Structure 1
Amino acid sequence: MEKRVVITGLGICSPNGVSIPEFEESLRSGTSGITFHPQLKELNFSCQIGGKPEISETKLAEYFTPLQLRGLNSSGIVYGVISGTDAWKDAGLEISDGSSPDWDTGIIFGTGILGVDKFREAIHLIDEGKTRRLGSTSVIQTMASGISAYLGGILGCGNQVTTNSSACTTGTEALLMGYERIKAGKAQRMLVGSCSDHGPYVWGGFDAMRILPGNYNEYPEAASQPMSANASGFVPGSGAGALILEDLESALERGAKIYTEVLGGEVNSGGQRGEGSMTAANNEAVQRCIVGALKNSKVSASEIDLINGHLTATSKDSVEIKNWVQALSSNSVFPYINSLKGMTGHCLSASGSMECVASVLQIDKDFIFPNINCDEVHPEILDLISEERIPRKIIEEPINIIAKASFGFGDVNAVVIFKKYV
């Protein structure tokens, strides 16, 4: 018999909050975590702003031993370990130091580009003939699965421990992969999430593509404008989000807090055919992904209260909403829709998991966070949906079902459906 899957733990490492209470408060108040980065100015970037979690040395010492911190130079691993460990503790799980791993719990924690600064450090040392100075952790900090390996060792997980990578879809895909494993009875719990490094060596390629805003360097908090008529490109960000998925029977047995239930979802690709390309989505594939997620979750379009969109603050925002309108054609009233990226920027491979955390909080606490920096909605969007469906102030009302979407480079898509647990 297929298992029901619920969420029992949350962790976040966001530009606008490095704990769940801090993050929730920022969501409610519409607080941006985007700041000016002098290093980007020194390197002649057009866009000199970005979203970066602030982690103090004291905070680091809470999650890493002095030995683990020695030579640690991967911001993605730092963000992932903090959010993953916090989600574990939030779920009421203990970190065992015994000799036997937890065979019933696994990890799927994704990333895009990991350990870029460590790579740069290693390249310099190798070019200078100083290979022996690389240190013993250079490999695990730069391998894609470094984040799941770090978390697996810290938490002692003995089920599947792996890393996925699907550009901006990574975090939402990781959640659905973990969901499927529990649903099939192959694990009781899965820690799922994703992380992204910060800095010029990650963000530089996007600046070169001229898809980042270069006219808000003096006004960083106003720069990210999803769905706005004035949107001029996405602001790069970084961080990590983490969630504990658990089969319902296990969660009830141990008396865990249940944030919400995962009903299902869909993952697909547009094959870079039709309108699809390496950087643009195939609209038919996006619509099929939305419809497939609803079908797999046994949910009708009219039951969706809120869409947490991908919505990056580019010209593609109106295209995304057109795809939602067409996919939900049976729905007489379009759901509310919001985007986290106005507050955090686009956190790349971390975005899906961070936005899943934000979605779950909205269901659990019955509120819809505002779309900041969207004073004037893009006219193409207003041709599709009414303005009141794009809240600019917090809405406090019961939220039963949220559809969360992520669309990534490579023409890949993921949609997950969350429902209040009753």
Structure 2
Amino acid sequence: MVLKRVVVTGLGALTPIGNNIQEYWNGLVNGISGAATITHYDASKHKTQFACEVKNFTVEDFIDRKEARKMDRYAQYAIVTAEEAVNDAAFNLDKLDKDRVGVIWGSGIGGLETFQNEVLEYSKGDGTPKFNPFFIPKMIADIAGGHISIKYGFRGPNFTTVSACASSTNAIIDAFNYIRLGHADVIVTGGSEAAVTIAGMGGFNAMHALSTRNDDPKTASRPMDADRDGFVLGEGAGALILEEYEHAVARGAKIYCEIGGGGMSADAHHITAPHPEGFGAKNVMLNCLRDAGLNPTDVDGVNMHGTSTPLGDIAESKAILHVFGEHAYTMNLNSTKSMTGHLLGAAGAIETISSILSIKHGIVPPTINHFTDDESIDNKLNFTFNVAQKRDVKVLMSNTFGFGGHNACVLVKKLDI
């Protein structure tokens, strides 16, 4: 069977450093931190009182007020970014075969705020069950993809991937595979998350996963820095239009890049900690290269998972050296989480978009907030610290690793590479 080629023809983003693709890219290349004191609720009693929230966003600017009330924020974010991506792809929706258009979305948690608020409200009563009729359809992790398909009438494959922080990368890989196997012509893919909530922040604090640098939030996410003390929680969404190459060419579509391959693996080690030698991370990158039919020396850089946790950054750096050897020292490595925070299930989507825009613009965004080298990390590697770097980028990889040991990696490349 001859596999079909898959390209990217549309993008959408709603992030802590920009509410559309252009704003997001400007934030990335200028090294803007999205971290600030939490505004969604009173966090004064929390160990961590800051996060990377979406800013200056009014949902009624995009979605009818009545309809928006039926959606958790994570689904609202999904609808907004999907609309930007669909518009960017410039489809003639009346001529599109909607039976051949799918939606494969990713979310690690789904409607956490809805679940939290409903249970808190119930606890105030006398024990009589009184729940909002939209409680379940607002909460479930698959509903964002359902809303997107309903909005546009897309009747192709429709489901949601859940693999913690690897969720939207898994969604992109699934969309890629469905198209190259001939099951769809177009798939809206990506991911969304809205876990900056009392329960989300409290839960991650209880695990000692979050930075507690309350006196200086903007420098709290500092991947590969010796003084990193945990990740900064982020929220938002990213959407990509994946399209079969011939289908895109036939309609004269703008093509950003080609999806070259995808890799998956498991750490099989611990529910939250990575394998200290990065075995799962090593395997996922090797699997991705194998799927793409490329050699390590073909890769110009890696958008690292790079969460700013003490163990994770070390393990991933070791894995990169294992996979790329001496070539690793010629690559640009970066962690855009230093700016956006960690969007959990949406991280893979916005980080893949960053890689795609690097190919388009010839710029690798920085890893900001680097102050002190960590002796446990090989600092001869180019982590693109603090300032964006110009580079003719042809092939990039994006890593995402999730609690439970789930690893996913996607490779994007210039057309005809």
TM-score of the alignment, normalized to the shorter chain, above 0.5: yes
Aligned counterparts of 1:193 and 1:7: Cα–Cα separation in 2 = 12
Deviation at 1:380, TM superposition (A): 1.8
Contact 2:7–2:243, Cα closer than 8 Å, also in 1: yes
1:406 corresponding residue in structure 2: 400
1:294 corresponding residue in structure 2: 289
Aligned counterparts of 1:48 and 1:40: Cα–Cα separation in 2 = 10
Alignment of 1:203-282 (within 5 A): 203-214=201-212, 216-271=213-268, 276-282=269-275
Contact 1:235–1:345, Cα closer than 8 Å, also in 2: yes
Q: Secondary structure at the match of 1:379?
A: coil
Q: Secondary structure at the match of 1:25?
A: helix
Change (3 A) 1:170 1:307: same
Change (3 A) 1:213 1:41: farther
**Equivalent position amino acid for 2:346 in 1:** A
Residue of 332, 337, 343 corresponding to 2:339: 343
**Equivalent position amino acid for 1:400 in 2:** K
Contact 1:336–1:391, Cα closer than 8 Å, also in 2: no
1:22 corresponding residue in structure 2: 23
Deviation at 1:193, TM superposition (A): 0.7
**Equivalent position amino acid for 2:368 in 1:** I
Q: Give per-residue Cα distances to partners, 1:3-60, cap 9 Å, x unaligned.
A: 0000011111100011001011101101111111266664521111101112533xx2
Deviation at 1:101, TM superposition (A): 7.4
Residue of 199, 215, 232 corresponding to 1:201: 199
Residue of 84, 89, 112 corresponding to 1:91: 89
Residue of 288, 292, 300 corresponding to 1:305: 300
Deviation at 1:125, TM superposition (A): 5.1
Task: Single out whichever of 117-126 and 366-375 deviates more from structure 2.
Answer: 117-126
Whether 1:395 aligns to 2:389 is yes
**Equivalent position amino acid for 1:228 in 2:** D
Alignment of 1:112-131 (within 5 A): 112-124=108-120, 126=122, 128=125
1:160 corresponding residue in structure 2: 157
Contact 2:168–2:349, Cα closer than 8 Å, also in 1: yes
Contact 1:38–1:48, Cα closer than 8 Å, also in 2: no
Deviation at 1:116, TM superposition (A): 2.1
Provide TM-score, normalisation by structure 1: 0.92
Alignment size in residue pairs: 409
Deviation at 1:248, TM superposition (A): 0.4
Task: Single out whichever of 278-287 and 259-268 deviates more from structure 2.
Answer: 278-287
Whether 1:80 aligns to 2:92 is no
Provide TM-score, normalisation by structure 2: 0.93
Change (3 A) 1:377 1:156: farther
Structure 1, unaligned stretches of length 5 or more? none
Deviation at 1:281, TM superposition (A): 2.5
Deviation at 1:117, TM superposition (A): 2.3
Contact 1:325–1:334, Cα closer than 8 Å, also in 2: no
Contact 2:179–2:185, Cα closer than 8 Å, also in 1: yes
Q: Secondary structure at the match of 2:407?
A: strand
1:371 corresponding residue in structure 2: 367
Q: Secondary structure at the match of 1:331?
A: helix
Contact 2:223–2:367, Cα closer than 8 Å, also in 1: yes
Task: Single out whichever of 85-94 and 118-127 deviates more from structure 2.
Answer: 118-127
Q: Secondary structure at the match of 2:390?
A: coil
Aligned counterparts of 1:12 and 1:387: Cα–Cα separation in 2 = 29
1:66 corresponding residue in structure 2: 65
Q: Secondary structure at the match of 1:307?
A: strand
Q: Give per-residue Cα distances to partners, 1:163-183, cap 9 Å, x unaligned.
A: 110000011111000000001
Aligned counterparts of 1:182 and 1:95: Cα–Cα separation in 2 = 19
Change (3 A) 1:251 1:38: closer
Aligned counterparts of 2:161 and 2:267: Cα–Cα separation in 1 = 19
Deviation at 1:389, TM superposition (A): 4.7
| C-alpha RMSD over aligned residues | 2.1
Aligned counterparts of 1:130 and 1:163: Cα–Cα separation in 2 = 33
**Equivalent position amino acid for 1:77 in 2:** A
**Equivalent position amino acid for 2:191 in 1:** S
1:134 corresponding residue in structure 2: 132
Aligned counterparts of 1:245 and 1:212: Cα–Cα separation in 2 = 34
Aligned counterparts of 1:34 and 1:172: Cα–Cα separation in 2 = 23
Aligned counterparts of 1:106 and 1:151: Cα–Cα separation in 2 = 10
Aligned counterparts of 1:152 and 1:143: Cα–Cα separation in 2 = 16
Contact 2:109–2:164, Cα closer than 8 Å, also in 1: no
